[in-house]
Structure 1
Amino acid sequence: MTRHTVLRPLAAIALCGALVTGLQGCIGLAVGTAVVGTLAASDRRTLGAQTEDKTITVKGEARVASLVGGAGHVNVTSYNRKVLLTGEVRDEQMKAAVEREVSAIEGVQAVVNELAAMPSSSFAARSNDTLITSKVTASFVDSKEIFANSFKVVTERGTVYLMGRVTQREGNIATDIARGIGGVQKVVKVFDYITEEELRQMTTVPQKRTSGSSDAEAAPRSPS
């Protein structure tokens, strides 16, 4: 008897998100007898901002590696041209030097420096941080109140940093979810806030004009 593997809805959403990066969602994905509808507002950054973030991250990592060398462990995360620095460096002077170097990169609008002057974290600690990030992200996917792909999650020494273009309401919901994950020591918000009206505009799909309509019919007539 042939066995058929049926993907669960969450797994299908994750697969769709991985294959269609940058698109506004996956439409009409059939999963067994279930149908996963549109995953709206997957990334609220403009395409230009997404491209710049990738460039900033690559340049930042290269400059930091040259500056810090083996005297620290630094993560560079850019979201909507805001750069988050996490990890460990030798001393406060190096922490300030890393911030200056990253701030000088073209396109960077702000730097949030969360570097700690202390010995580099262990491989086990970093592995645990990766696990926490995965758990937080999975919990966002499970939530019906927020769009998981609108958030960027970074974890360092048990502290979870949340980035994204979100409303105050979404940010508070995401923060509460992250705080409930085992192993999370603290949650730090690094959001770019938008209004509920801006969110509605992002997620509203314009209605198509009927085939019989025309510009002349749609526009008000000029007085004769």
Structure 2
Amino acid sequence: MGDDTWGLLLRKDAERDFLLGNEISSLGIKTNKMEAVIELEADIELPTNKIVHPVLLQYTVECPYRIEDCAFMPQRTLWEEVMRWERLNERGYEMAYLIAADVLIHNLRILHDNNILHNAIHIGNYTWALELLDFELACSPKHPYENEDYQRHAVDLFEREIIHTYVVINYIAGCLQEVVDFKVLDKLFNRYGFDLNAYSVNIERKGPHNLQ
């Protein structure tokens, strides 16, 4: 377990979040704006009996609501955020979820082209302003994992971010009550160099009389 404790932000994680967030933002991806890592003058005893000072990561966001907060958002606020996406609609999409999809897939292309693994892409780490958040689990050539075991497995984690991004897009469409055109979405992934056919699985379907 080490020093990791649920709900406690360790200084090393806060600093990684701060540094990776700034690095990713510098590549043109919209993120929260990092401001400061603040260590509080208070003692907290961990389950390991180690005493540490709690740390705060101070940042600002354009939208305080994450994608997963949809059920708790005022509908007016939700649609005000979605209407702002039109500024990003360079391809003239008619469905709002496709505007978001283009942004999210483009973000993923930038990350992977720069050998950056976010390692936590999900509906809790994007806001409705399409800001990418939370980088304490991320790694890049400038800020690699310190643990050799993590370094070895990081290469295998890039591909799953494609599926994670797909899930976020589907969730957005569901929140907006828009029907996903999976052929269009798959082509959009392909446009950015992600061939989803590489992950296809053939399933042999059996009739009821063949079920075992």
Q: Same fold (TM over 0.5)?
A: no
TM range (shorter): under 0.3
Return the structure number with greater strand share: 1
Query: Which of the pair has more CA radius of gyration?
Result: 1
TM-score with structure 2 setting the length? 0.25
Between 1 and 2, higher relative CO (CA 8 Å, sep ≥ 6) is seen in 2
Return the structure number with greater helix share: 2
